[in-house]
């Protein structure tokens, strides 16, 4: 990493000494491309499993059956698509917020290639049926160890950058990143504790109800600290940039941060209502989940209000359109989540497609659209070329939005139908629909609608791929890392002085 101190030019003695350094944008380009690639793969698998449910003939042999491909889908979209997206966001914004290049180029590259290697390992082992069978933590112990190593390198690189930062103030996005890095490490270590039996098999050290509690402490907080906190950091950095407006309330963002991280960690037992988990634990999970509504909406309001006075910009900015829909879906899924945790509601929703609707309104709306918005903002800056086609980006926005709506509306209908049919009794107190197939037949049309919605959403990702590819093709061949000069002694809010 070239970091040099230049004295003022001859004849300009009054000028302060400038320190010139370069941001590492290559690593951000790597993570951005990986996001797009894995997004396509993960969602293609999503479309395939969406087809396999109403059309079982599409289950091809054991390796490509629903049971094997479902965890491949969840791992690919969460850890490969959303994962690479948050790393792109973190590597881009942390450097700018700290006014420093990443701590170590070597570590950045190790993180990138290590993470892609883990994804490939997942893509091979999951179709082979090698799994711990713990949801969102299916990968076997050797891969778990690799995840730990890569995560530690990422953490050292990130905290090293914080340590050598030139900007004293730590903007709220950085706090969300810190919470992500620390908590994901704790969750991964806590839930992956297992005794290896062979290279491809292990047994968790927890048993029965403890195992379930630890698993859903992990599962719920994977949603919280992988699909929520880093995306909130992303929102707090990229939204004001794209809107060219300061964040609505900085004070609210701090309250939002501390209340969210404190409350989220307790809510896991809401996944285990009406199970062997003690009643008090489930109630505790429910209470904390309901409390979570407040900070979540604090974040949503802070995001949407940042656009005050800038709403007209939405007409021309696909980035802002994506962000607004993304934040709105965040608001909807974080209203729905607390509601689902209430035991009486959960009695209807649990085990039904209502969950799948909830998951995908968060995943497609919040995670997907925040990622797409960020990519459309980043690509012209990273490749120094205007986006190839604004029209195509707008088409992506619309096809994606309609796709989400079709997906979630179909799943709400299906989920409520399932819930109501399963608990319907006749006058004698017997189940009205004792045959499971009766519900399956009812919801089958909804599965076709979901498939159409999912395919449209994937179609939007294909448009993104073409647009980004055409932009990159036209980009200059030589893309030097951007150089920035700051007054050397300054460790306070020095303004960037871009140099050639």
Task: Name the site residues for ligand HEM (rule: CB under 6 A).
Answer: 43, 46-47, 49-50, 70, 73-74, 77-78, 82, 135, 219, 223, 227-228, 267, 270-271, 289, 292-293, 296, 333-334, 337-338, 340-341, 346, 349-350, 355-356, 358-360, 362-364, 366-368, 454, 457-458
Question: Minimal CA–CA distance to 224: which of 81, 311, 119, 333?
Answer: 333
Closer to ligand HEM by Cβ: residue 123 or 485: 123
- Adjacent-strand bridge partners of 20: 4, 485
Task: Say if residues 173 and 97 touch (Cβ distance below 8 Å).
Answer: yes
- Adjacent-strand bridge partners of 5: 19
Question: Minimal CA–CA distance to 203: which of 146, 132, 147?
Answer: 132
Task: Say if residues 354 and 340 touch (Cβ distance below 8 Å).
Answer: yes
Q: Report the nearest approach of ligand HEM to the CB of residue 185 (Å).
A: 20
Six-digit token pair at 79?
Answer: 């850890």
150: helix, coil or strand? helix
CA atoms within 13 A on the CB side of 253: 25
Task: Please list, in sequence order, all residues whose beta carbon lies within 8 angstroms of the beta carbon of residue 57, skipping any fewer than 6 positions away.
Answer: none
Q: Report the nearest approach of ligand HEM to the CB of residue 331 (Å).
A: 10
Q: Report the nearest approach of ligand HEM to the CB of residue 352 (Å).
A: 9
Q: Report the nearest approach of ligand HEM to the CB of residue 473 (Å).
A: 26
Closer to ligand HEM by Cβ: residue 419 or 482: 419
Q: Report the nearest approach of ligand HEM to the CB of residue 337 (Å).
A: 2
Closer to ligand HEM by Cβ: residue 23 or 79: 79
Closer to ligand HEM by Cβ: residue 21 or 366: 366
Q: Report the nearest approach of ligand HEM to the CB of residue 214 (Å).
A: 15
Q: CA–CA separation, 151 vs 185, rounded Å?
A: 7
| Residue whose beta carbon is closest to ligand HEM | 337
Closer to ligand HEM by Cβ: residue 95 or 180: 180
Task: Say if residues 175 and 158 touch (Cβ distance below 8 Å).
Answer: no
Q: Report the nearest approach of ligand HEM to the CB of residue 457 (Å).
A: 4
Q: CA-CA distances (angstroms) from residue 172 to 50, 258, 339?
A: 38, 10, 28
Q: Report the nearest approach of ligand HEM to the CB of residue 370 (Å).
A: 10
Six-digit token pair at 387?
Answer: 């986006």
Closer to ligand HEM by Cβ: residue 91 or 366: 366
Task: Say if residues 486 and 497 touch (Cβ distance below 8 Å).
Answer: yes
Burial of 172 (0-12, 13-18, 19+ CB in 10 A): buried
Closer to ligand HEM by Cβ: residue 454 or 482: 454
Task: Say if residues 23 and 54 touch (Cβ distance below 8 Å).
Answer: no
Closer to ligand HEM by Cβ: residue 102 or 446: 446
Closer to ligand HEM by Cβ: residue 153 or 461: 461
Place of tokens 């509504």: 293
Q: Report the nearest approach of ligand HEM to the CB of residue 349 (Å).
A: 6
């Amino acid at each position: 990493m070239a970091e040099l101190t230049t004295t003022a030019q001859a004849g300009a003695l009054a000028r302060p000494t400038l320190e010139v350094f370069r941001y590492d944008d290559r690593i951000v380009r790597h993570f951005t491309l990986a996001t797009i690639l894995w997004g396509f793969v993960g969602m293609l698998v999503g479309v395939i499993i969406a087809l396999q449910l109403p059309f079982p003939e599409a289950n091809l042999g054991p390796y490509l059956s629903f049971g094997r491909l479902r965890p491949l889908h969840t791992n690919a979209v969460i850890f490969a698509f959303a994962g690479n997206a948050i790393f792109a966001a973190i590597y881009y914004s942390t450097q700018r917020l700290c006014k420093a290049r990443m701590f170590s180029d070597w570590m950045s590259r190790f993180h990138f290639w290590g993470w892609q290697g883990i994804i490939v390992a997942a893509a091979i082992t999951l179709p082979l049926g090698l799994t711990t069978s713990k949801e969102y933590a299916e990968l076997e112990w050797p891969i778990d160890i690799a995840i730990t190593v890569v995560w530690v390198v990422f953490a050292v690189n990130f905290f090293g950058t914080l340590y050598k930062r030139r900007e004293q103030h730590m903007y709220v996005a950085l706090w969300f990143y810190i919470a992500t890095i620390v908590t994901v490490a704790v969750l991964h270590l806590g839930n992956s504790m297992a005794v290896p039996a062979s290279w491809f098999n292990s047994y968790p050290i927890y048993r029965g109800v403890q195992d379930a509690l630890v698993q859903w402490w992990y599962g719920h907080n994977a949603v919280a600290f992988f699909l929520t906190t880093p995306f909130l950091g992303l929102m707090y950095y990229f939204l004001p940039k794209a809107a060219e407006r300061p964040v609505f309330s900085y004070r609210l963002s701090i309250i939002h941060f501390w209340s969210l991280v404190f409350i989220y960690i307790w809510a896991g037992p809401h996944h285990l209502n009406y199970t062997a988990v003690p009643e008090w634990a489930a109630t505790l999970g429910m209470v904390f989940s309901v409390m979570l509504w407040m900070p979540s909406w604090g974040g949503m309001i802070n995001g949407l209000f940042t656009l005050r006075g800038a709403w007209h910009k939405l007409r021309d900015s696909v980035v802002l359109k994506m962000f607004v829909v993304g934040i709105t879906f965040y608001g909807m899924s974080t209203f729905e989540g607390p509601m689902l945790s209430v035991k009486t509601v959960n009695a209807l929703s649990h085990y039904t497609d209502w969950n799948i609707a909830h998951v995908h309104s968060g995943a497609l709306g919040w995670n997907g659209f925040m990622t797409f918005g960020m990519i459309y903002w980043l690509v012209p800056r990273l490749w120094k070329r205007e986006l190839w086609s604004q029209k195509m980006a707008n088409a992506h926005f619309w096809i994606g939005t309609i796709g989400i709506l079709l997906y979630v509306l179909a799943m709400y209908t299906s989920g409520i139908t399932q819930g109501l049919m399963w608990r319907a009794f006749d006058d004698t107190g017997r189940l009205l629909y004792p045959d499971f197939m009766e519900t399956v037949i009812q919801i089958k049309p909804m599965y076709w609608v979901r498939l159409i919605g999912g395919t449209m959403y994937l179609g939007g990702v294909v448009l993104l791929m073409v647009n980004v590819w055409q932009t990159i093709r036209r980009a200059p061949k030589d893309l030097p890392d951007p150089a920035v000069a700051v007054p050397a002694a300054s460790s306070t809010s020095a303004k960037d002085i871009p140099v050639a």
